[in-house]
Structure 1
Amino acid sequence: MKPEMIHPEIDPSEQPRNDLDRVIHGLGNLLSLLFIFTVGISFYEVLMRYLFDSPTIWVHETASFIGGCLFVYGGSYAMATNKHVRVVLIYDIVSDTTRRYLNLFHHILGLIFTSLLIWASFQMVEDSWLSPLGDWSLETSGSAWNPAFPALVKGTIFLTICLMFAQFFLHLIQEINGLRKHKNV
């Protein structure tokens, strides 16, 4: 399916640029339904706490875990839909050729940055998933419920940053190909 076919009413520059972006976009739209679930369980907690004087031990940590994971995924989603932060004051006044070079610079810096984040987040995951002796032992919250959410959030961070690295790489290739076509025209 062509990008302009996904949402024809949206600016084509905000459409996913490749198959990976389309998957990220579709998955992000599905995952956004978890916000409704989070609101639902939070409402349940309020009812249990204030109407029945019987608070839960799991809602707060579950809502925080879901929200944290969705927040992390948002970076990849923003990149897939070209809604990441940029200095539009400069970007919007330059020529198309200059924009292409700015995009090239952005993607190269993104690759460097995500490479460093992958290394750092891998260290974080390793520490939260393995004991000092190397045994499998997920870090837990330490609460009465004690879920392994801290380790799972760190794993989500690592996977999402790897995904963003792949996005930067694919976008860099597309930008280079776009520059070649632009020069040949």
Structure 2
Amino acid sequence: MTMKDDLHPTTPDTSEQPRNVLDRCIFRFGNLISLLFIFTVAISFYEVIMRYVFNSPTTWVHETASFLGGCLFVYGGAYALSINKHVRVVLIYDQVSDRTRRWLNVFHHIMGLIFSALLSWAAYQMVQDSWFTPFGELRLETSGSAWNPAFPALVKGMIFMTLSIMFVQFALHLIQELNGLRKRDHV
């Protein structure tokens, strides 16, 4: 293989492709909502112009930009998992056999299941506290600013939803990995 072949491989790396229907949906939706970063930059630019050119700062831009950025950042976990771009110790992972990699993947998915389950439970508790009064009435937590949007409660809901989706992703990936190990053992 030449240097040119290394730079432009003809076959795509399937390890960085969505593995199932859920992953494909997460990947496509993530690509779509990534356009919100452009919107965030645009409204931030608008705020700068309003504040420093017209001396008329807005009350809504900073909180909206923070809310959108926070939600997109949280969604990034499920997105990275959908295309196998999560954090991995490649120093070890790249040096072992395919079979050992599969077992490391199984370990990773089990740990991910436990981690996402525990974080989902904690996020659920946060949602309970930020969405409901102690008497069970719906009342979303607000920012307490002059504009006072319900963004804190909505971000906490997004965290809970994303972690719950990641739990399902880890479960599906674990099943797929175990099925792959079983097929290899029968061959």
TM range (shorter): over 0.9
RMSD between aligned alpha carbons?
1.0
User: How is 1:98-177 mapped onto 2 (pairs within 5 angstroms)?
Assistant: 98-177=100-179
Query: 1:164, CA displacement in angstroms?
Result: 0.1
Question: Which 4+ stretches in 1 moved above 4 angstroms?
Answer: none
Pair 89,60 (structure 1): closer, same or farther in 2 beyond 3 Å: same
Report the equivalent of 1:96: 98
Query: 1:10, CA displacement in angstroms?
Result: 4.3
Query: 1:11, CA displacement in angstroms?
Result: 1.8
Report the equivalent of 1:15: 17
Pair 118,48 (structure 1): closer, same or farther in 2 beyond 3 Å: same
* Gapped regions of structure 2 (runs ≥ 5): 1-9
Report the equivalent of 2:3: none
Aligned-partner Cα distance in 1 for 2:12–2:66: 31
- Structure 2 counterpart of 1:126, one-letter code: Q
Aligned-partner Cα distance in 1 for 2:112–2:99: 20
1:92-146: CA deviation from partner (whole Å, max 9, x where unpaired): 0000000000000000111111111111100000000001111110000000000
Query: 1:54, CA displacement in angstroms?
Result: 0.2
Please say if 1:31 is aligned against 2:71: no
**Alignment size in residue pairs:** 178
Report the equivalent of 2:181: 179
- Structure 2 counterpart of 1:151, one-letter code: A
Aligned-partner Cα distance in 2 for 1:169–1:110: 9
Aligned-partner Cα distance in 1 for 2:172–2:155: 26
**Aligned-partner SS, 1:175:** helix
Query: 1:182, CA displacement in angstroms?
Result: 1.0
1:69-102: CA deviation from partner (whole Å, max 9, x where unpaired): 0000000000001000000000000000000000
**Aligned-partner SS, 1:84:** coil
Q: TM-score with structure 1 length normalisation? A: 0.94
Pair 98,28 (structure 1): closer, same or farther in 2 beyond 3 Å: same
Counterpart selection for 1:86 from 80, 85, 88: 88
More deviation in 107-116 or 152-161? 107-116
Among the aligned pairs, what percent are the same residue? 73
**Aligned-partner SS, 2:170:** helix
